[in-house]
A and B are shown apart, each in its own frame.
Chain A
Amino acid sequence: GENVEQHPSTLSVQEGDSAVIKCTYSDSASNYFPWYKQELGKRPQLIIDIRSNVGEKKDQRIAVTLNKTAKHFSLHITETQPEDSAVYFCAASTTRVIQGAQKLVFGQGTRLTINP
């Protein structure tokens, strides 16, 4: 089955600097890669996602890159703000209709702290 590795586990950056979180996946059949932001005690919130037919996607200060060959994808947050502080999770899934598929497998999470 799919295995997703996420690094680093903690990340501290100064306000205004950029933050990068990296993930690798194992299943070449995975073709959907979302990123979630989770605040304490809350549900994961989708912040950006990318499908395998695209190498990069950007939404304001957030961007995601995907390297299918190397099986890794990264989250980039620019001009970080204190409200970006949270735990971020990457995940991988296949959208193929196969029994047991279409489930999200999550990385271990990165606790991001933005220092004012």
Chain B
Amino acid sequence: GAVVSQHPSWVICKSGTSVKIECRSLDFQATTMFWYRQFPKQSLMLMATSNEGSKATYEQGVEKDKFLINHASLTLSTLTVTSAHPEDSSFYICSARTSGSMPFFGPGTRLTVL
């Protein structure tokens, strides 16, 4: 099956700093990538959908200025959590797909903001 990677797998940062998470499709070109956030013992909540070369579409309630998404190529999307605070601590998971295919999930990134 298709492989999606994320980097880093975990990160600890101080409150007020920014953190960038990368999502890469390793063996296919992803026309669309999705970013999810999962709090402990909760479901995956879609944050935004990004298509290569265009602006991301954010879900209701997700601040686009706080969660910056860049989908610069067909194999890479980045999520930057700006001015992170402890309430942003969560498990961030990306998924990637080509048109008509099912999505493939990355392994997730555990963010802890102190």
Contacts and interface: CB of A to CB of B under 8 A. Distances in A.
B44 A46 contact: no
A106 interface: yes
Contacts of B106: 43
B60 to A, nearest CB: 8
A113 to B, nearest CB: 14
B46 A105 contact: yes
Given A44-B44, A89-B43, A109-B42, A102 B97 contact: yes
B100 A95 contact: yes
B102 A103 contact: no
Which of B43, B91, B100, B110: most chain A CB closer than 10 A? B43
Question: Chain A: interface residue count, which band?
Answer: 20 to 34
A107 B44 CA distance: 8
A19 B34 CA distance: 30
A107 B43 CA distance: 7
B76 interface: no
A62 interface: no
Closest 3 CB pairs of A and B: A43-B105, A106-B43, A106-B44
Given A89-B44, A104-B95, 16 more contacts: A32-B102, A34-B102, A41-B91, A41-B108, A41-B110, A43-B105, A43-B108, A44-B44, A44-B93, A46-B102, A49-B102, A99-B57, A103-B34, A103-B46, A103-B49, A109-B43
